[in-house]
Every structure is written in structure tokens, then in C-alpha cells.
Structure 1
Amino acid sequence: MASSICLRCLRRSLQSIESSHRAAFSTSASFSAAAPPKKQGAPGGTGARPPAAGERKALRKRIVLSNTNALQVEGLEDFTGDKLVRHEPGTVTLDKFRGQVLGLDDETVDALRALESFKSTQAWSLFRRPATLIRAETAQLANQLANAEGDGKEVSRMVIYGSPGSSRGSGKSVMLLQAHAMAFLKDWLVVHFPEAQDLTNAHTAYQPVTTPTGTIYIQTHYTAKLLANIARANQKLLSGLQLSQQHRLPIPVQANISLSRFVELGAQDPDLAWPIWQALWLELTTPSQSESKDGLQRPPVLVTMDGVDQAMRSSAYLDSETNPIHAHDLALPRHFMNLLSGQTKLPNGGMVLAATCDSNRAAASTMDHCLARISAIQNNAQPPHWDPFVAKDAKVEAALKDVQALKLPGLSKTEARGVMEYYARSGMFRHTVTEGMVSEKWTLAGSGIIGELERATIRARF
């Protein structure tokens, strides 16, 4: 009896403990937190709106040209027109500024922005204001620009490329920007194709047009955008020029309309863009009649294309039989290639520049071979032989037949020191610039590749 009572008491005590243990960890429904109500039209009820059309692309390509946290560089000279004056045969004043950084004034910056010369991958946003290093190749371009204004109206046609394996970040796009700045300072008209890839990747509308030489494909919306860039960047120059010829256009146009207003008509309506583009080039390639103000005057023209390797092969567009369309059968790339090869003349002088892109390199074996051959001939070396097992692109070979090739090397140590001192004076490089420091960074940057030098100094802090 005693043992049974003890077991019964023990069982009751265990039940009371278990029930109290469960109660301590129970949760009443009245104290539960209610889920927040979903907002109408918001995916998943988070309240975040989907990005608008083109918003991601605009953010990715957003260009910032000023950093208020950077120091103002005292004594920074501007890149002005008087530095491009020829002071003796074969040289211009800009030669004296090699290895120095010069600032770009507001008017030039506005024109360069309208032309889309700045790249989002460049380090403009780290400094107080845009400035650029004057290197040996910059002075070389300045001399060629001066030759184009001489009595002979020389027209330089050149492809800028880098050394194999170290060409990324060598400054090819900045060389085009410097050429744009010099042309604006000289009152030239500047036309720039910011990315050849945008012409060949099948992301814009196109349509066939029959010409006496065959079928070409026009891109009306891209042409309208290009005309808008030209109108904004060259507004001051085009406002002082008038239409001088009668052109067959879809709409009536005032006889003495300014070229600025004429170009804007094409920028506003893609259906008018292509005929207005053709008429504009007829106007620009009309020879100036005399040096007097009464005669017809037309300025020299600078035409440039970045990432030209994308236009040296078949494009992503398809013809009516679903065959790839060669990039040179697209109207705008063909127009540029005709200028680059010299088939289309610039009677009032000018320059045609193309630059390859190694950040998004396209396979263009014929272009690579042609550039290597041209470079070898320029340096009195043995030209390379063509690989017989690789098909040669006759259209690309014809476009590069009579051009110059400028291989862009790394900076010299003097130029590297100049740009590092500018970094230090801006507060972006917090070290004393000594000969040892310059040699160290120059070596780590692959013998002065400016993109790597930038990465090893100012970008290493972020």
C-alpha cells in the first residue's frame, strides 16, 4: 500500500510539472504580430517599384565629372587654343606641356559631354574638375591637326590600338577625347561614334535601301540620335553656317536655314534623319570658295569611332534570307569606313580617327593583321605573313589599306610622375611622389599603362 501511494503521488507530481512546463512556453494568439498588409500594385508586397524603361542603362552610363571632396589643384592651367599654335615648322606649343596635366574649361566639357566622349569607366568622378595628361602622342595628334589647316589641307586617317596583352587601359578612348577637345578649340566640326557596338549588335531598327552600288541598311533611330549629338556639341559652329545647296528632302526646307536648325530637324524625326544626314555631308564636303567672308566657308571635320573592331566583321543583323549582314553594309559604318580609307574626301581638311576597344574585344583577325602589317612598315620591319588557314575579309582589308597605325604604349616615367603629382595635389594619392615611388608604380603598372597606374594609386583606396 505504501509503495502504491508513493507511485501515485509521484505520477501526479510529474503531471503537474509537465503541465506547468508546457504553459510557460505557450503563446496566445492574441499577442501574435500581424503581417503588414500588401500594397496594391507592388510585387511581393515590398513596396519597391520596378525600374522604368531605360533606367538601368541610364544609371550604368551615368557620367559624373566633379567631386566636391577632392582638392582644388592650385595653378592648374587650362587646355586652351593658344597651346595649339604652331610656333616653328613641325611642332606646336603643346609640345612644351608634355608630362603635364591640363584642365578642360566648362565650354569644352559641355561639348565633350554632348558628344559622349566621356566614359563611365574613366576616373573623372574622383577629381574636382576634368583634366587630362598631355603625353607624347597627344602632341603628335596636335601636329597633325595643325597640318590639316595648312595650305595642303592634309587629312590624317589613323587607327589607335594598344600593345597585345597590355592594351586595356592604355588610354585609347582618352586620346579620342583629347582629339575632340583640340578640334573644338580650333573651331572644327566634330562627329563621334561613341561605341561601334551600338551600330552592329542589332539593338536598333534597320531597313534596306537600294543604291547604285547595291543594297545598304540604314538605321534611322540611331542616325537621329547621332544628329542630336552633333547639333548639341557643334551648336555654336553650325549656327553660323547656312544651307548652300538644293537637296531632295521629304519636306520643304527654308533655303537659307542654318545648319544647326537643319540638323535638329533630322534629330527630331527619325524618318527625316537619313536624308538630312546625306545632305549634311554634301554641305560639309563642299570645298570652301575663298578665304574671304563673302565666299562659301566650310570648316575642317574630325570624325572618330571608338571600339572600331566591332565594325570590322559581320554584324548581328540579318538580311531577308537570314544571312548575317556585314558591318560595312550598314550605312553608317560604311560611311565611316569610306572616310577612313580615303574614298570619301574631306576637301576642307580634317582627320579620321578610330580606336580599338580591349574591354569588350571583338574577334577581327583581318584588322589585327592589317594593323600589324602597317605598324611593321612604319617601323621599317618585316611585315607579318597572313595565316592561310584563316579566311581574309576583303572589305576590312580595303578599309585599312591606306591608314596609319598608332600603337599606344605605356607612359614614360616623366609622364607617370606628372600624373601622379596631379593625383597627390588633388588629395587622391596620399604619398610623397619620389623617384622610387614613381619607378615602383610604373613597374607595377606594366611599364606605365595608365589604367593600371590609376588602379595602383588612386583606385587602390576604394
Structure 2
Amino acid sequence: MAALTAAARSRVSLLSPHAGPSLTQLHCQQTRAYAAPVKKGQTKKTGSQSFKGGKGRDSGGQAKREKRLGSFRPMPVVQLKHPVFATEAIDELQLPSFDAELVSKNPGKAMQFPLPDNDAIRIFGVPRNVLVDFRILSKPASVVRDITVKLAGKLQRASQQSSEDNRIVLAGTRGSGKSYLLLQAVEYAASAGWMVLYIPRAINLVNSTSAYTYDPRTQTYQQPVFAYQTLQRFLTVNATALGKLSISSPVEIERRETLPVGTPLKDLIDVGLKDQSVAPTVLEALLAELGRQQKYPVLLAIDDFQALFSKSTYRDPHFAHIKAWHLSMPRLLLQYASGQKTFARGAVIGALSSSNTTFALTEDLRYALGLQPYMHPSPYAKVVPELAAYTRGISTWKIPERLTVDEAAALFEVWNKDKSLHTHVPDEFFMAKYSESGGNARDFVWRGLLATLET
């Protein structure tokens, strides 16, 4: 019954039509019961997947499969008048909006993401595991944890400091909430007036889902399509701030044209949007200009951060795997993450992911980030010098493995009020699921609360 009740309600969905961390759109998706009334005087057609008698056999005597198979058609919502489809209004889930000024005042409470037209979640997208949660929930929301308040304080101080002193990588066990914490940092910065560049799926930078070309000038492999998409989304999210900034030094676009001092940054981005082949050069010049200006702090947030240190699935002319740092986009991000390039005001935050085993966290990277200082790399294994160069000075934050009871209670309240549970549950049920999951955030929801809907 809970599944039918949930099916009759509007759900918020994030679509991701492109291969990269795509431009996403939120829309309300009506999920309807699959049935269709038979009109008066009309014979109801039923599909059959069985084999008929002699008439259904070919010349060789073999049975033919019936071509007309049954199909389901959606029933209009107005016809769902049976009490089983009745549900309370979706607006019952009332949560405060996630805002920079309210985060520190609401530890252990759930807050919803407001999602305006230019919101980073809507434009940049979200990681796949977060996407699934948001498709089920009627409103994208998250719980403000103690580590969230700590990270918000770090960002508040970083707004007046160079990004060289504020380079962080979020690490922790699988399902501990690293992606959610990074998303909260992005929303915090956006609501506090920062300029935000969010890469929710860095694996898409190295899994050969985007075109690439070799550039002999830089001796790297350019990714013009991904750079073009990044420019487009960055302009949409930060249009207001970009309209108030201009170029501080002449910018040469691959010997084709030179933009003079005083050119608005929007015009610089338009050059890359008009000609996709120069988008990587424009993106690099844009970030350099953002690094020099001091009017707005800048946040560079990267999920699947470990993928930037792996062998990509791209191939060179000799069919050998291309290292990630030989691709233009990962190399540019690593230069800011390592402090080789900086923002005058801002921070760089990455989050490690273990959901994709193809681009998993290696032992060498664990040691370089200080996650396993007692485990030295094998003396028989070659450690590439780029690994040490691009991880130098990065601070590692370990996410708590368990939710506190208050944090888990707030998470339970969100899913319970959103009618995700099939019946009224007592406090014993909450404590049982919290104990079974060991306090792990993802297991508490998916193997605990939502597992009650399995048959």
C-alpha cells in the first residue's frame, strides 16, 4: 500500500542528459498507477505471451511468438479515486531552507535545499547516490551534522584567506556522508555570496565519455566538450557576480584574438561558448582571473576526487592509458588542489568516493593523503612523482563513521514524514534500524528504513 501511495505523489527528479556532470533540471514527475479503463462498447484487448496452436507455427513447424503483446498505459491522476490512492499533501514536509546564516543554529536538524533557477544542484548536478535519494524524497534535503557546522566555520574563515591555506579532502568509510557534506559546503558557499565551481562526478573526466584532442602547444590532451559545459554552467550559477568583474590583464586566446583589460568576464566566457575548440583555454584564463580578483571568494568543489590521480580510460596513439593529469580538465583542477594555482580568497574541497571500483582509492594515494601513514608504499612499486606533487599541502578531514542519535533521528523524521515507511513505527523500530546499520548514514536509510518496503 505504501508503494501505491507513494506512486500517486509528485516526486522531485534530477535529470542528467549528458555524459559529464551534466546540466540538470528539477521537475515534478507524476508517477501514475498503470491501468486503463475499458470504454463502453469496446472490447478489452489482452496481450498474450504464449504460443498459439497450429495457426501460430511457421513452415518448419516451430511455434511463433505472438506479436501483439500486452502493454500498460498510465491512468490519469484524476481517475485515481479509490481510497488506496489517497495521500496527504506533500507540503507536510516543512523544513527550514539551507542558508549560511542558519547552518550553525541548526545542528542535528534537517534542512531543505531551496533550489532557485540558478542553484548549483540544479545546474551542476549531484553525485549518483545523492541523485537517487532526491528522486525518492519530495524535497531535496539533508541533515546538518556537527562536521557540517565545523566545515561551515572553516569556509567562513576561508572567505578572507587564500585558497592555498584552505585545501581540504573529505575522507571516510563508504556511506558516511562525504558527498552530502561536500554538497552542503557548495550550498553554504552559494548562499553566502561565493562564486562556486562544482564538479559532482569527476570520474566523468577520466572515463572516456567526452571527446579529447592532443594539443602540442601544452603537450596535454584537451577536453573541449567538458570545458564548454563547465563554462556554460559556471556562467548560469554565477551570472550576477560575473557581471561585476572584468579582466585585469590582456588575455590571448590561442593567437586568434586578444581581449583587452577591462573586458567583462562574461565576454570572456562567451568566446569559449561561441567556439568550443578554445573552451579549455578560456576556462583556464577565467580561473586565473578569478584567482586574482578579491571581490568574491571562490569555492572549487570536486567529488570523486581520487579519480584525478588514476589512469584514465582514454588512450594515446600507442593505445596506452593516459594518466589523468595529462588531460586538460583533471590537470587544471589538480593545479588548484595542490596550491600550484590559487584563489586570492576561497577554498578547494574534494571528496573521496569508493562507489566505483574502476577508479578506486589506491594505497599510494592513501599514504600521500595521510590516511594510512603506517602503511608505506611497496619498495618494489614505482610511485609517480606527480602523486606527491599534486597532494602536497592538502589537509584531510575524516568524516565520522556514525551518525549521532540526534542526527539519525532527524534523518528518520524526514523519511517518515515523507511517507517512505509503510506504517506507523514506534521508537523501538528506529533504535533497531540504527543499531543494525551501525550508525552508517547510507545503510540506515537504504538497508534500514527503506528495506521495510521490500516484499
When normalised by structure 2's length, the TM-score is: 0.74
Distance in 2 between the 1:201 and 1:438 partners?
40
Residue 81 (str. 1) matches residue 100 (str. 2): yes
Aligned in 2, Cα 1:136/1:109: closer, same or farther, shift over 3 Å?
farther
Partner of 1:237: 241
Aligned in 2, Cα 1:235/1:63: closer, same or farther, shift over 3 Å?
closer
Q: What letter is aligned with 2:90?
A: L
Partner of 1:227: 231
Name stretches of at least 5 consecutive residues in structure 1 with no aligned partner.
1-53, 84-93, 289-296, 377-381
Q: Deviation of residue 101 (structure 1)?
A: 0.4
Distance in 1 between the 2:161 and 2:334 partners?
26
Conserved in 1, the CA contact under 8 Å of 2:23 and 2:233? no
**2:101 aligned counterpart, secondary structure:** helix
Conserved in 2, the CA contact under 8 Å of 1:155 and 1:346? no
Partner of 1:104: 113
Partner of 1:331: 328
Q: Deviation of residue 315 (structure 1)?
A: 1.7
Distance in 2 between the 1:405 and 1:193 partners?
19
Residue 119 (str. 1) matches residue 117 (str. 2): no
Partner of 1:205: 211
**2:91 aligned counterpart, secondary structure:** coil
Conserved in 2, the CA contact under 8 Å of 1:64 and 1:125? no
Partner of 2:354: 358
Aligned in 2, Cα 1:322/1:422: closer, same or farther, shift over 3 Å?
closer
Distance in 1 between the 2:267 and 2:116 partners?
20
Q: Deviation of residue 255 (structure 1)?
A: 5.6
Conserved in 2, the CA contact under 8 Å of 1:147 and 1:153? no
**2:349 aligned counterpart, secondary structure:** strand
Q: Select which of 382, 385, 388 maps to 2:376.
A: 385
Q: Deviation of residue 394 (structure 1)?
A: 2.3
Distance in 2 between the 1:56 and 1:344 partners?
29
Q: Deviations over 1:392-451 (max 9, x none)?
A: 232122222221222222211221011101222222235556553332111222x22211
Partner of 1:311: 308
Aligned in 2, Cα 1:360/1:110: closer, same or farther, shift over 3 Å?
same
Distance in 1 between the 2:19 and 2:216 partners?
34
Q: What letter is aligned with 2:153?
A: N
Residue 429 (str. 1) matches residue 439 (str. 2): no
Larger radius of gyration: 1
Q: Deviation of residue 252 (structure 1)?
A: 5.8
When normalised by structure 1's length, the TM-score is: 0.73
**2:289 aligned counterpart, secondary structure:** helix
Q: Deviation of residue 170 (structure 1)?
A: 2.5
* RMSD of aligned Cα (Å): 3.0
Give runs of aligned pairs for residues 210-359 of structure 1, distance below 5 A. 210=216, 215-249=219-253, 250-251=256-257, 253=259, 256-288=262-294, 297=295, 299-347=296-344, 349-359=345-355
Distance in 1 between the 2:158 and 2:117 partners?
21
Q: What letter is aligned with 2:198?
A: H
Q: What letter is aligned with 1:105?
A: P
Aligned in 2, Cα 1:179/1:80: closer, same or farther, shift over 3 Å?
same
Structure 1, 202-211 or 137-146: larger mean CA deviation: 202-211
Q: Deviation of residue 383 (structure 1)?
A: 3.1
Conserved in 2, the CA contact under 8 Å of 1:118 and 1:177? no
Q: Select which of 379, 399, 406 maps to 2:397.
A: 406
Partner of 1:40: none
Conserved in 2, the CA contact under 8 Å of 1:226 and 1:267? no
Partner of 1:158: 168
Q: Deviations over 1:237-278 (max 9, x none)?
A: 212222332211234657644323432331342122122112
Give runs of aligned pairs for residues 58-69 of structure 1, distance below 5 A. 66=28
Q: Deviation of residue 311 (structure 1)?
A: 1.9
**1:248 aligned counterpart, secondary structure:** strand
Partner of 1:449: 440
Structure 1, 215-224 or 429-438: larger mean CA deviation: 429-438
Distance in 2 between the 1:255 and 1:406 partners?
40
Aligned in 2, Cα 1:407/1:66: closer, same or farther, shift over 3 Å?
farther
Distance in 1 between the 2:18 and 2:239 partners?
29
Distance in 2 between the 1:117 and 1:457 partners?
23
Aligned in 2, Cα 1:304/1:112: closer, same or farther, shift over 3 Å?
same
Conserved in 2, the CA contact under 8 Å of 1:204 and 1:222? yes
**1:160 aligned counterpart, secondary structure:** strand
Name stretches of at least 5 consecutive residues in structure 2 with no aligned partner.
1-15, 31-86
Give runs of aligned pairs for residues 26-41 of structure 1, distance below 5 A. none
Q: What letter is aligned with 1:330?
A: L
Q: Deviations over 1:295-335 (max 9, x none)?
A: xx3x1111122212222122222334443321111122111
Distance in 2 between the 1:57 and 1:279 partners?
24
Conserved in 2, the CA contact under 8 Å of 1:340 and 1:399? yes
State the identity as a percent: 23
**1:280 aligned counterpart, secondary structure:** helix
